[in-house]
Chains A and B, each alone.
Chain A
């Protein structure tokens, strides 16, 4: 009733105002023509609406000489072809303005073609339409992701243990975990009970929530193995690099680790390079690396071992059998014999894609050799490798257990086995040997004399105890950090430390080709993370214990590097700094380029520029260097000659993660109460 009265009253006004347009007989001819305008005032822009679903209603406001015009017909029109939407009556719909001059459409449902398009709203007398910018996106179906990580768990409160985890899970477009399976192994009593044939089950009901601006989020899954996580509930901090790749760290106080989460597709390649690192049957560090080919489920190859107890053993024959992958891409590799111990090694593998597999050692307490390790295999494709295959690169490796250490450096070669120039940092914290900017010119490498394709070594000079690396070449179509990336940072090699006995057993890493050393190209948004071991002991007396970070960073070309406003997540279950899983942590510095591809952030620089950090509310700093493989991949290492801390990580250029299977919303990120009254921490004991 009210509407009718209202409409009646205003109809007269409208009639008078729009006399010429409506055909009312009046003396309007004696007045000037009003200025009619129509403006989009609601429902624009609308982005990332899945095809087949409705956009929100759109509103257009009509004015006459600047005043709201009620009772006016407005026609909304969607494109007749291509990406578009449909009103209940079709491509067009006519609505009438209300007393405020606003006409509101019905919901418009996106058709099956994804893309950006414009809906117009027109009214008589208006010289131009109102435009509504709408974008529909393809339906993002559920997908499988593979994850893996290694670090230290609390052993259910018994202390710190090495641990490895790998698995695959299905996540739908809303971030709901639909199911999955995983393997967990700390070789100290917390090992998936059904190994090797039956992995733990990941239940339906977990979630992946991601901040739509920064890509930082949280994955929560529930494992059937209740000895892991908090009664089986495992939480990971997730930093998306792009929709297919994220950095992860366990974030529930029961363990901390570094690893990745990657979109899964089918395996294709038949020739592989691989590397794993972990602990041997005596719970001391060990690393394996090598190459193999696969034919009808039979693996044949060559591998090296550096074992803290059993020694360095190279060119061992690898003969094994792989099972058929299950629904989550999990396969079992049997038949490998540990050359130092004479014990069998059983691995589970999760195929990530055509050229990548995550590997985890799944031996159990009842096996002759109860150990743990995790790593990857990457395809070699059809490439034939020789010394020309390594021309310039950045190498980075970390050792996690018996001795914690990290080294990173850059080099150029003559393509004939000689390193013609290079700089490296070496942080052998446990051994008290830490050196920066080591000149490694004169180092050599050999990718030919073994007679095994893609299986070689690099001999480093002047880099502390890191003097020999096993080098296992990967296909020039593989990005090892981001296996689904087919555009940047292709190729390189896996490396395993084979230096003579000392402090580097268990060291494992990569060589990434160096393709861009222009310092100003280090610019934009980056997903970053690091794996840290330190003796800071700020809350608990846990010497050489682990802390991990993931977070979004922004680099101003030639300027400051800092965390995005949401901050970073740090996992510190051992109380090295804050003792909590902290969020919103802040890092920042202005990296100083001192050589092509080499930046420093040191408190000893002429203008001190260490990487300042606020972790769980405690302020301190780390001395850090950065090696730039390209504008999209950089490695950073915590290094100083007096640091009681060592870390290694990556800065990976961030792309769009809009299509990541996740709930894209700002999740509540509570900063837990810190476990100390201290306000600062120190990693440097000069």
Chain B
């Protein structure tokens, strides 16, 4: 129910952000050096569930801007996990990187003031606009933060994706 109510709002906000602020940088997702192991084709078997995903890849947008704050630990009012605050033309965006976004092996390193490009979906959580980051470009590197279903990519998954790429095997 809550997602139905939020869809229109999210679309409006996304449109404003994209129209007012900046040129959209289209992230070359197929050129990621890391985390490609998370990109696994979905099963085509019959499903009991109606399609109503938590993370809808068709609603993704791309944002860019300098980082003004980095939140690693628990913080009042924020959903759990790491966050970065990005300054965009529309204001400051709270970008959620999930529990493993800045933790573990092969995690990105970000500094305040650094220019970051994120691709993801804007959602309203606890009455706040949260940008759920799926991929992030920082320092010229592209990192997969969540898979295409919005599931956080674990450090083990990042590493496994690297190995998979090295072996030339497609999962």
Contact = CB atoms under 8 A, between A and B. Distances in A.
Interface stretch (A72-80, A219-227, A533-541, A653-661): A533-541
B120 interface: no
A310 B73 contact: no
Contacts of B156: 161, 187-188, 279, 283
Interface stretch (A92-100, A139-147, A494-502, A597-605): A494-502
B76 A685 contact: yes
Given A282-B38, A312-B47, A500 B52 contact: yes
B49 A308 contact: no
A341 B1 CA distance: 32
Interface in B24-45: 37-43, 45
Contact of B80 (A314, A432, A468, A499): A432
A310 B76 contact: no
Contact of A402 (B47, B48, B154): B154
Contacts of A312: 43, 47-49
Contacts of B51: 500
Nearest to B128: A432
Contacts of B103: 541, 543
Interface residues of A, number: 56
Interface string A452-486: 00000100001001011010000000000000000
B19 to A, nearest CB: 27
A536 B74 contact: yes
Contact of B147 (A308, A341, A462, A467): A308
Nearest to B1: A462
A339 B41 CA distance: 11
Contacts of A285: 151
Contacts of A544: 80-81, 99
Interface in B45-92: 45-55, 72-77, 79-82
By secondary structure, the A interface counts as loop
- Contact residue range for chain B? 35 or more
Contacts of B76: 685-686
Contacts of B126: 432
By secondary structure, the B interface counts as loop
B42 A644 contact: no
A311 interface: yes
Contacts of B99: 430, 535, 543-544
A503 B80 contact: no
A433 B45 CA distance: 29
B105 interface: yes
Contacts of A537: 73-74
Contacts of A283: 154, 156-157, 160
Nearest to B161: A282
B73 A501 contact: no
B15 to A, nearest CB: 24
B113 interface: no
Contact of B42 (A310, A462, A465, A685): A310
Contacts of B16: none
Contacts of A266: none
A530 interface: no
A309 interface: yes
Contact of B74 (A307, A309, A341, A543): A543
B48 to A, nearest CB: 5
B104 interface: yes
For B1, B51, B79, B130, the residue with the greatest tally of chain A CB atoms inside 10 Å of its CB is: B79
For B41, B45, B50, B51, the residue with the greatest tally of chain A CB atoms inside 10 Å of its CB is: B45
Interface in A501-546: 501-503, 505, 535-537, 541, 543-544
Contacts of B104: 159
B131 to A, nearest CB: 13
B54 A431 contact: yes
Contacts of A433: 2, 125
Given A159-B104, A501-B53, A644-B74, A281 B45 contact: no
B110 to A, nearest CB: 16
Contact of A339 (B45, B50, B152, B153): B45
Interface in B137-168: 147, 149-157, 160-161
Interface in B88-102: 98-99
Nearest to A315: B46
A430 B152 contact: yes
B39 to A, nearest CB: 8
Contacts of B111: none
For B1, B98, B130, the residue with the greatest tally of chain A CB atoms inside 10 Å of its CB is: B98
B38 A313 contact: no
A161 B104 CA distance: 11
B55 A340 contact: no
27 contacts: A159-B104, A187-B156, A282-B38, A282-B157, A282-B161, A282-B171, A284-B151, A284-B153, A309-B39, A310-B40, A310-B43, A311-B42, A311-B43, A312-B43, A312-B49, A314-B45, A339-B43, A402-B151, A403-B152, A431-B54, A500-B49, A500-B54, A501-B55, A502-B55, A503-B54, A536-B74, A541-B72
